[in-house]
Amino acid sequence: MASHILHRTTDRDLPVAVRGDGLYIVAADGRRYLDASGGPAVSCLGHSDAAVAEAVADQARRLAYAHTGFFTSEAAEELALRLTAAAPGDLDYAYLVSGGSEANEAALKLARQYFLEKGESARHRFIARRQSYHGNTIGALSVGGNMARREPYRPILMDWSHVSPCYGYRGQEEGESDAAYGDRLAAELDAEIRRLGPESVAGFIAEPVVGASLGAAPAVPGYFRKVREVLDRHGVLLILDEVMCGMGRCGSLYACEQEDVVPDILTCAKGLGASYVSIGAMLLSRRIRDAIAAGSGAFQHGHTYLGHPVAAAGALAVHRRLVDDGLVEGVAAKGALLERLLLERFGNHPHVGEIRGRGLFLGLELVRDRTTKAPFEPSVKLHQRIKRAALERDMICYPGGGTIDGVRGDHVILAPPFIAGDADLSEIVGRLGEAVDAAIDGAG
C-alpha cells in the first residue's frame, strides 16, 4: 500500500515498526533493530517499559485532558514538583509543553517578557553559538546555529547573533590551555554583547553538551562559569538547552550540574518522556516567575496541549524509573564502559579524530586525516554512509555532519538506553566498528 505520509525523505520506503523489545525495535518483517542511540537520544528506558506504558494508559482512562485555562492536573503538578525539586538553584517553576522546540520557543518568549515586566523593554536580542541546534520551529531555528538546517529558511528567519561554540577538537589553538580557551570564548561573548549594546540583549542560549550539530561535544572545564560571569555583568539571562543532553543522559539528572552553573531558564524534552509521550519542559527561576506575578500576571504564551495530563503522567513514571529506580545513577559506570570499548575499537583508528562525550552520550568525529584533522569531502556524505551501513547491520545510531567556520566534519553519536547491559554495549561497538569501516571503504 502506498504511503500517504510526507516522510523525512521521499526516496525510499521505510520499514514498519510494530513492537518494542528492550533495546530493540521490531519491524513488521520480523527484523530486529538494535537502537544504539535511542533514536535521537530519546528512548532512555528502551522500548518496552511496562511501568511507563501502564501509567500512560491509566491516566488516559481516568482523565485525558482538561484545558489549562481552567484546570491543573495531579500528574502535571507532581511532575513539576519533581522536576523543580531535583533542579539546581532556584529553578522552582516548570512550564510543560509538547517537545524540545516548543520548550525553547517558550524560553525565548519568557526571557523577552521578563525584561518587559522589569521595564527593560529594549532587551529583545538573543545570542547563541554556531554549530548549535535548538529546534525546527521558526524562533528556535532562528536562534540556532546549525547552518545546514537553517539554510533553506534563511529569508524567513530572525537575524540573531552567533558566537563560537566551545569545541576543543577544532576550536582550541595548538598549545592553548582549557582555561585560556574558555577565557577567549568568554571574551568573544562579552565583545558580542557590547557590540549589540548590552541594554538590547535578553538572553544567551547554549547546549551544555552539544548534540546534533557537533556530536556529543562537552565544553572545556570552567567555560560555562565564565559565560555566566559575562552574562551577569551585562544582566543577560542564561538559557541552557538540555533537550538532548539532559534527563540523566550525561550521568547527572541535569547536565548543568557538572558545569557548576545554574541557568535562569533550562529546557528539556526527549528523555523527559523517554519516547513514550510527547513532552518538553521549561524550568524557570523563581525570580522570573515573581517578576511576572508582580507585573502583568500572565505569561503571554500557550498551546492547546500545555501540561497535558497523559504526557505528564508518562513523564512522571519515567522520572520515577530514572531517579527512584536508580537508572541515572548507573549511567556514569555504563558510560565509562562504553567509552572504554570505543577506545579499544577506535582509539587507533586512522579515521577517528576524537572520541568524546559524557555518560551514555558519546560521539566519534570522523576525519580523512587524523594528523591534520582534515575532514572527508562533503560530497562523500560519510555520516549518511555510516547511517546506512549501520542499518544494514540492523542497528540505529545518530550520525551527523556540519560546517564550523568553514570546516566540515562528520560525527556519529551513540546514546543507548540506560537499561543497556555490558553485552549490549559490546554488541553496539562491534556493529558500529563494522559499519564505520564499511562506510569508509565504500567512500573510496
Which range touches ligand PLP (CB under 6 A), out of 59-67, 95-103, 112-120, 221-229? Answer: 95-103
Q: Which is nearer to ligand PLP, 244 or 440 (CB)?
A: 244
Which range touches ligand PLP (CB under 6 A), out of 96-104, 162-170, 334-342, 404-412? Answer: 96-104
Residue 171 sits in the site that holds ligand PLP (CB under 6 A): no
State the minimum distance, in angstroms, from the CB of residue 274 to ligand PLP: 13
Q: Which is nearer to ligand PLP, 240 or 367 (CB)?
A: 240
Residue 408 DSSP SS3: strand
Residue closest to ligand PLP (Cβ): 100
Rounded to an integer, what is the distance from CA 354 to the centroid of its chain? 20
From the CB of residue 33, how many other CB atoms can be counted at a distance below 10 Å? 19
Q: Residue 268 forms beta bridges with which residues?
A: 281
Cell numbers representing residue 23 in the block: 533495546
Residue 104 sits in the site that holds ligand PLP (CB under 6 A): yes
State the minimum distance, in angstroms, from the CB of residue 144 to ligand PLP: 8
Residue 38 sits in the site that holds ligand PLP (CB under 6 A): no
267 phi/psi in degrees, rounded to 5? -115, 145
Cell numbers representing residue 153 in the block: 529558511
Amino acid sitting at position 221: P
**For residues 359 and 250, what is the distance between their CA atoms, to the nearest angstrom?**
4
Q: Which is nearer to ligand PLP, 242 or 424 (CB)?
A: 242
The radius of gyration of the chain's CA atoms, rounded to the nearest angstrom, is 21
Choose, by CB under 6 A, the member of 40, 139, 314, 335 that binds ligand PLP: 40
Choose, by CB under 6 A, the member of 20, 38, 46, 100 that binds ligand PLP: 100
Identify the burial level of 328 via C-beta atoms within 10 angstroms of its C-beta, where 0-12 means exposed, 13-18 middle and 19 or more buried: buried
Residue 263 contacts residue 282 (beta carbons within 8 Å): no
Residue 134 sits in the site that holds ligand PLP (CB under 6 A): yes
What is the DSSP track for 62-105? H-S---TTT---HHHHHHHHHHHHHSSTT--EEEEESSHHHHHH
State the minimum distance, in angstroms, from the CB of residue 80 to ligand PLP: 19
Choose, by CB under 6 A, the member of 24, 95, 133, 276 that binds ligand PLP: 133
What is the DSSP track for 164-204? ----HHHHSPTT--HHHHHHHHHHHHHHHHHHH-GGGEEEE
State the minimum distance, in angstroms, from the CB of residue 132 to ligand PLP: 8
State the minimum distance, in angstroms, from the CB of residue 263 to ligand PLP: 14
Residue 211 sits in the site that holds ligand PLP (CB under 6 A): yes
State the minimum distance, in angstroms, from the CB of residue 211 to ligand PLP: 5
| Count of positions on this chain that bind ligand PLP (CB under 6 A) | 15
Residue 243 sits in the site that holds ligand PLP (CB under 6 A): yes
Q: Which is nearer to ligand PLP, 134 or 228 (CB)?
A: 134
Residue 269 sits in the site that holds ligand PLP (CB under 6 A): yes
Helix (H) and strand (E) counts in the chain? 14, 17
State the minimum distance, in angstroms, from the CB of residue 1 to ligand PLP: 28
Choose, by CB under 6 A, the member of 212, 292, 413, 432 that binds ligand PLP: 212
Long-range contacts of 364-367 (CB under 8 A, 24+ apart): 364/215, 364/411, 364/412, 364/436, 365/169, 365/215, 365/409, 365/410, 365/411, 366/409, 366/410, 366/411, 366/412, 366/436, 366/440, 367/409
Residues 363-402 that bind ligand PLP (CB under 6 A): none
User: H or E segment at 50?
Assistant: helix 50-62
Residue 207 sits in the site that holds ligand PLP (CB under 6 A): yes
Q: Which is nearer to ligand PLP, 46 or 145 (CB)?
A: 145
355 phi/psi in degrees, rounded to 5? -115, 125
Residue 131 sits in the site that holds ligand PLP (CB under 6 A): no
Site residues, ligand PLP (CB under 6 A) = 40, 99-101, 104, 133-135, 207, 211-212, 241, 243-244, 269
